[in-house]
Amino acid sequence: MLRDFAAIDFETANQELSSVCSVGIVVVRNGIITERFYSLIQPEPNYYCYGNSQVHGLTVQDTDNAKLFSEVWREVEPLIVNLPLVAHNKGFDESCLNAVFRTYRMDYPNYVFYCTLAASRHQLKHLPNHQLHTVAEDCGYILTDHHNALADAEACAEIALQLL
């Protein structure tokens, strides 16, 4: 079982994967949540699509004075050093991370990623869908603030503790 990891979730401002506007991180050590981190991020490119804002509720007013990704990631790195990352739909979150590293010309450290979406599709075939809130509820966790990056990362961590 995976007992040490960091669950991660990004929200984006627009259709560009580099436009991360918030990040949530939940650090799990020895099977116990030890740290939570949340930050707004000034997206790049810095504009919001209506559909994205409808999903997560964030707008340009929320992030105009937020830190740039490179500044936020300097705070994140010490929290996740030597830990694999876990995401629900790792394809999205890993692609966001790669894109924003490229945008800021940062060296990507080739993080190891695990996916709770793939694990849930494999192990929880009885579910009507494998959306984060559905899987979380099946695992006994009620996700009350879906599409808040920290709430989603915490739900992912709880799922990972059961499925990975």
- Averaged pLDDT for residues 113-123: 98
- Phi and psi angles of residue 82, each rounded to the nearest 5 degrees, phi first: 65, 15
CATH number among 2.40.50.140, 1.10.760.10, 3.30.420.10, 3.40.1280.10, domain 5-163: 3.30.420.10
Domain spans, the chain: 5-163
Using pLDDT thresholds of 50, 70 and 90, give the confidence band for residue 1.
confident
Mean residue pLDDT of the chain comes to 97
Report the predicted TM-score, pTM, of the whole model to 2 decimal places.
0.96
